[in-house]
Amino acid sequence: QIQDKTALQITSEWANPPDPSNPFTQTVSSLSSTPPSIFHINLSRSAFGPAGPATANVVEYVQSWFPASRATPAFQKQIEADFARFEEIFSVGLRGRVGLASGWVLEEQAHEDVEGGKARCFVAVTGWETMGDFEEAVKRDAFKQAIPLLYAWGMPFKMWHVERKVLDGSDVGV
């Protein structure tokens, strides 16, 4: 889906992730008629600190799912190394990127396209000044050289972009 104005993305930072029965989580869950996707990521850096990706005008999220049975600590380190190599190649001469954080989702995820249906999920969060900056970035030779490293994983992934907005009560009908 493109430009789904009914979608709601809430990104927050917690010292300790809330329990699913936490009042905040229950309130967020009640905002939609469809069950929300709520997960917690142990990010490599603050999403909201100086040059944090979630402070950008446009925030890109990429989730990659791996069979839980294969996602040992050594496997996770290899995925992180592959991603670091991708970034090393891709970031040369890159413009418009505000920040980057990545990490593993704490909860095991269900995914029908993953062997056994149970997955561990690696997430990258990238901030961009504009959507045009992202679009230009993926046209570059550096991207074309780097992306095979991630495609080699052969795992399902999902990418989406969110225009960051801070809403007040008048924006949400409160």
pLDDT in tens, 51-85: 899 999 999 999 999 999 999 999 999 999 999 99
Cα–Cα distance measured from residue 110 to residue 42, given in angstroms and rounded to the nearest whole number: 18
**Whole-number average pLDDT of the chain:** 87
DSSP-derived 3-state class of residue 147: helix
Which two structure tokens, joined as six digits, stand for 161?
């972009």
DSSP structural state of residue 72: -
Position 5 in a domain? no
Predicted model pTM: 0.85
Helix (H, G, I), strand (E, B) or coil at 68: coil
% of the chain with per-residue pLDDT over 70: 87
Instruction: Tell me if 24 is assigned to some domain.
Output: no
User: What residues form DSSP beta bridges with 7?
Assistant: none
CB–CB of 161/137 below 8 Å? no
Domain of 159 in residue numbering reads as: 39-172
63 lies in some domain: yes
Residue 25 lies in a domain: no
pLDDT at 145: 97
Over residues 136-158, the mean pLDDT reads 96
- Domain assignment present for residue 127? The answer is yes
Structure tokens at 166: 């801070």
CA atoms within 13 A on the CB side of 68: 12
What CATH number is attached to the domain comprising 62? 3.30.70.100
Task: Name the phi and psi angles at 67, rounded to 5.
Answer: -55, 130
Q: Give the pLDDT confidence score for residue 26 in this predicted structure.
A: 76
Number of folded domains that form the chain: 1
Distance CA 41, CA 67 (A): 17
N-to-C CA span, the chain: 28
Phi, psi dihedrals of residue 150, rounded to the nearest 5°: -85, -40
pLDDT band at 93 (very low <50, low <70, confident <90, very high): very high
d(CA 92, CA 142): 7
